[in-house]
Amino acid sequence: MNFLSAIIVFENLHELRRLCHWGPVVALTVIAVCSSMAILDSIIWYWPLDTTGGSINFIMLINWTVLILYNYFNAMFVGPGYIPSAWKPENQRDAMYLQFCRVCHGYKAPRSHHCRKCNRCVMKMDHHCPWINNCCGHLNHAYFTTFLFLAPLGCIHAAFIFIMTMYTQLYDRISFGWSTVKLDMSAPRRLHYPIMPFGVAAFAATLFALGLALGTTIAVGMLFFIQLKVIMRNKTSIEVWIEEKAKDRIQYYQTGEEFIFPYDLCSRWENFKQVFTWSGVPAGNGIEWPINEKCHQYTLTIEQLKQKADKRVRSVQYRVVEDYNGACCPIRMGLITFFRMPCTEEPRIKLTKGEIIFATRGTKWWMYGDKVLDEEQTKAGVRIRGWFPRRCVEKCLYDSANNTAASEEKKDK
């Protein structure tokens, strides 16, 4: 009884709320449909108790499902690891190299970033993944990448089962004109007697599951190779973007600097071991990291500070001339604005006529920027930023983006 209580009652019970999101609902539904249909079709096609091959096929199928769910739930519930609130470096002089987070009331450790959805500073943040409804970071990067590796393999196996089930069940019923392409199914057909009917409904369900399996194989397989590529360089997706901006900044200002990514250990195997270990616990404490001999612990954070300063200089001041309710799909703003909306999970912000916005980037039809807030909101760490239609704003005749007050308002967390 005590053992059962220890399983049911645990401190992070509130984490189960992560399941109540469209991402986990869709992901678990796809896993459930593909796995259950593959198990049923295995029973129809290759009864596991009659032959060794059938038994191996069935055991492998169950094994894929268990491993996929194990890594998926670990990626979701273990989490990425968070920087403690009000954290600051042991050496106070090092604070000058770090960004300050007004939400967490502390400094951002190297490689950490503040996630708006989790509302915390995340250790070695790669991205916020809607499919696990959590961030992918220091502690769960290995689980997440392993899930991306196993899911396509399991789907390939399931797709093979779906194809063979439809072929064997329709072999004697429909002539496809494949007189020269026939598989030898004598062993399964001789020893197997289907215990479930394979009618129109079963065929439709199998065909639907096949489509899910193939689509998942392609989509998740591409994500796996993207993750593997950054892991082999000991980077995160955010750090890849920071490195690209560093090169653009140096080229734009012709500073003559040479930016060396500090966490690349110049060995793919050494970089790989920073994420994947035999113990399952990633290397490092999430705050201090092994670095390239030509760099130091704050090489990346110093570059980030330079990029933030450059962004403040380049930002342009706009005044809101038309109200915008913050809708994700604003049909009222015109069809072109509707169809050209940015494909991103970044938020949209509500605009009221007369407000001031500092825009930092944008497209022909949409812009991204920070809303200028009053002094109380700024001191409280409130920040409102996101996308809005370009037609709602007009450029101010004067640009105060470089004055002291505006710079203080636009400081990043």
Provide the CA 38 distance to its chain's centre, in angstroms: 27
Cα separation, 1 vs 109, in Å, equals 43
Phi, psi of 245 (to 5 degrees): -65, -30
Closest to 128 measured CA to CA, from 142, 139, 111, 114: 114
What is each CA distance from 268 to 41, 231, 327, 351, in whole angstroms? 41, 8, 44, 47
What is each CA distance from 359 to 99, 112, 371, 410, in whole angstroms? 21, 24, 9, 10
Cα separation, 381 vs 215, in Å, equals 43
Q: How many CB atoms lie within 10 A of CB 114?
A: 20
Say which residues have a Cβ less than 8 Å from residue 402's Cβ, sequence separation at least 6. Answer: 312, 313
Which residues are 139's β-sheet partners? none
- Tell me, yes or no, if 295 is annotated catalytic: no
CB 287 within 8 A of CB 336: no
CB 87 within 8 A of CB 107: yes
Q: What is the dihedral of CA 217, 220, 224, 227, to 10 degrees?
A: 170
Tokens of 188: 């399964």
Q: How many CB atoms lie within 10 A of CB 355?
A: 19
Which position among 101, 104, 115, 129 bears the catalytic label?
129
Q: In 3-state terms, what secondary structure has residue 115?
A: strand
DSSP secondary structure letter of residue 276: -
CB 114 within 8 A of CB 170: no
Cα separation, 234 vs 113, in Å, equals 16
Cα separation, 324 vs 370, in Å, equals 15
Tokens of 314: 């380049």
DSSP secondary structure letter of residue 84: P
Q: What is the DSSP string of 231-262?
A: HHTT--HHHHHHHHHHHHHHHHHT-------T
The residues assigned a catalytic role are 129
